[in-house]
Amino acid sequence: MWANDISTILVRLRGLEQIMWDAYDRPEWLHRLLTFMQSKILMHMDQTESAKGFKLITHQNQAMPYAKEFPPPSAGKGSISTKQLWGYMAAQEFTTFFACPV
């Protein structure tokens, strides 16, 4: 399961309304929290890639993501790098508040 969506994780921890209040009342605190979360998510992705845990056939919903630029997915084929993964986009309302430099 894809577990690297920072906005979904944060909403589960704090609730969407509370996050909006945090952005207004405590923006520095929210930025520190998101910077911490970002570092752990990137660490998790690095560990997954090192353990050869990314596959082209790994998905959690009914979508069938294919692109001519990628080799066709097949069972038992080796792992792929993060550069070969499909991107994940969060809702627009989060991009303004959660833009943390890498």
Give the tens place of pLDDT for each residue, 4-38: 778 888 999 999 999 999 999 999 999 999 999 99
User: Does 89 fall in a domain?
Assistant: yes
Q: Select from 96, 100, 94, 101 the least CA-distant residue to 10.
A: 94
Predicted TM-score (pTM) of the model is 0.68
| pLDDT of 2 above 80 | no
Is the predicted pLDDT of residue 41 greater than 50, yes or no? yes
Indicate the number of domains in the chain: 1
Predicted confidence (pLDDT) per residue in 44-75, tens digit: 889 988 988 877 665 665 556 666 776 666 66
Show Cβ contacts of residue 58 under 8 Å, excluding neighbours closer than 6 positions. Answer: none
Give a yes or no: residue 1 inside a domain.
Answer: no
| Structural domain boundaries enclosing 44 | 6-97
Mean pLDDT for 77-97 is: 67
Question: What pLDDT, on the 0 to 100 scale, is given for residue 102?
Answer: 44
Residue type, 71: P
